[in-house]
Structure 1
């Protein structure tokens, strides 16, 4: 990310969000340049929405700072912040048309009725909603309502756009289409956008950078590709679909915290993570002989579930792991909970990296 400076003021977002409420403690640092799309990703209760509300001014900071384009916002009322918000349920005014919903923000900023409606019409046109300008929210589909809410947020010309689970209210088919449209609009947005989601696909597709929050703290941040290749917590590994272990490396051998060793192609020393996809695991009912796989563990099937067009087997035993196999392979192995199996993984299909 390249810093853009006007005088000595850093453009974009510079925030440390500290919020203490009872036993919950949020302490998250966020920086972003104009044009950046940052996704806050994490499990329920991690603090994502609290962080978003703090950015919007809806939850006061206990400590820290919040600067946007060099200006401090901690003491600025929410309605006076150059911030646009798209809430999960959109919160459109039910008695107003789509046009007047979008015009509401510019009107609050002091624009004349004619000017506000002209700006609203322009945004509805950009969203492909000109034909729905006179429709009230109840007459709009979920995807159309989401675009009206986005237009309403953008019509105020915000320097910070906040999106709270913007696709969560959509069905799967609509979500695919709207995600593509939202990606295009975010790519054109010239200020900072912060997206809160628990959906890894939304985060990977829409964001330039991911900030993963667990228990109110940032546990990992980076590009989607980097985080997908180098998960550092079980939560992240589960999101990106990898088996993840922490251990100590001596050359090509990693002794895991669980006890067994994993052979890798990387030559490392010291604390490391080792990851491999469930598809890299091959299962056998009998101990294999003559296998080229360097890793072999005795396990037991603890559960089976459909995963896309495959079966995912959860395994316990020497090394807890997940394995993906076809329905035909699962039937041939006669897999069922409690069944003993041998799991193998080739060293070339593992990936080790410093912890």
Structure 2
């Protein structure tokens, strides 16, 4: 049993039998087919990651009841939800653009859910006030959405979703509408609120940092199916597709291992410290790559490939060089090093990587 399975099993055993999310979401739309199985125990935060068109938002909308299932099942705390209308499901949703009612104050936006669930106006507003206070927004209770900052609006939307005490909280790109500075602050606040949430939370995001910080488990979807799932640390250390490798910032290749040598399908070999046999992945970060204009004669690195620069991208004081040649790869170096090497598209370089900076694992 994996650490994740062990943790999940422990949480489930502590609660009601069948507590949490148990779903197989099958949705067919034209030539696209989504077929994703998801399970989560109360207290789990699961992030759905994947490229555009992979099916992440479709999965989220299917759980909310906004997209009908073609097949499969959706059970929450042991109760089947396939035939339950969206407004009757114990599900809270925070949409990407928040969808706050523009004519209502922050207080009445949050009170809307409890009112729909039968609370009196006074009860709903008291509940809403408590949630706004919890979110640090008590002084903005009377403000309408247009007078709120992006971070404040996000917290009002979260409070509105939580005020109904859902057993499943769905968040669709909850930080996408925020600028970089606000995103950093709100990400920390959201992490705290999710840590306190006692039911299941599922979030969709394109941002790997959001996923790594907020989620206990990552589920990566490509072409309508799950290609990898696990803890953030496991996904980052052992990516299994090019999309995931790019997401976590690694060069990734697939080949056949024979001892310390991995022969890639494209021809070149990579020397690793692991001793393996058979199909494997091998990965290393762009920061592990050292570039030279002339073939190094005294380099200690076991891996050496002749390449050509096809693109350069600057991020602060770092430059990402995209290389083609014997082994297509990405290399990170300082702007000073890039200038000293005279890097430009078309420049011929030698790339070296130490075996100790590679990581090989079974495919």
Shorter-chain TM-score range: over 0.9
Where does residue 47 of structure 1 map in the other structure?
55
In structure 2, relative to structure 1, the CA distance for the partners of 1:205 and 1:50 (3 Å cut) is: same
Equivalent in 163, 188, 199 of residue 207 of structure 2: 199
Written as runs of structure 1 = structure 2, the 5 A alignment for 1:85-164 is 85-164=93-172
Where does residue 81 of structure 1 map in the other structure?
89
In structure 2, relative to structure 1, the CA distance for the partners of 1:292 and 1:314 (3 Å cut) is: same
Where does residue 8 of structure 2 map in the other structure?
2
Deviation at 1:24, TM superposition (A): 0.7
Where does residue 346 of structure 1 map in the other structure?
354
1:63 matched to 2:71? The reply is yes
Deviation at 1:17, TM superposition (A): 0.3
> Secondary structure of 2:319's match?
strand
Deviations 1:85-135 (A, max 9, x none): 000000000111100000000000001111111100000000000000001
Separation in 2, partners of 1:315, 1:350: 18
Deviations 1:217-255 (A, max 9, x none): 100000001100000000000011100000000000000
- Provide the TM-score with structure 2 as the length reference: 0.96
Deviations 1:114-173 (A, max 9, x none): 111110000000000000000111111100000000000000000000000000001111
Separation in 2, partners of 1:257, 1:190: 47
Separation in 1, partners of 2:177, 2:220: 22
Where does residue 225 of structure 1 map in the other structure?
233
Separation in 1, partners of 2:236, 2:342: 32
Separation in 1, partners of 2:105, 2:16: 43
Where does residue 221 of structure 2 map in the other structure?
213
Separation in 2, partners of 1:155, 1:140: 19
Deviation at 1:2, TM superposition (A): 3.2
Q: Which runs of 5+ in 2 are unaligned?
A: 1-6
> Secondary structure of 2:159's match?
helix
Deviations 1:54-105 (A, max 9, x none): 0000000000000000000000000000000000000000111100000000
Deviation at 1:6, TM superposition (A): 8.4
Equivalent in 328, 332, 346 of residue 340 of structure 2: 332
Q: Is the 8 A contact 2:8 2:40 kept in 1?
A: no
Separation in 1, partners of 2:316, 2:69: 43
Runs of 4+ in 1 over 6 A off after TM superposition: none
Equivalent in 171, 174, 178 of residue 170 of structure 1: 178
> Secondary structure of 1:10's match?
coil
> Comparing 303-312 with 320-329, which one deviates more in the overlay?
303-312
- Provide the TM-score with structure 1 as the length reference: 0.99
CA-atom RMSD in angstroms = 1.1
Where does residue 282 of structure 1 map in the other structure?
290
Separation in 1, partners of 2:287, 2:150: 36
1:190 matched to 2:198? The reply is yes
Deviation at 1:9, TM superposition (A): 3.6
Where does residue 246 of structure 1 map in the other structure?
254
Separation in 1, partners of 2:331, 2:204: 30
> Secondary structure of 1:2's match?
helix
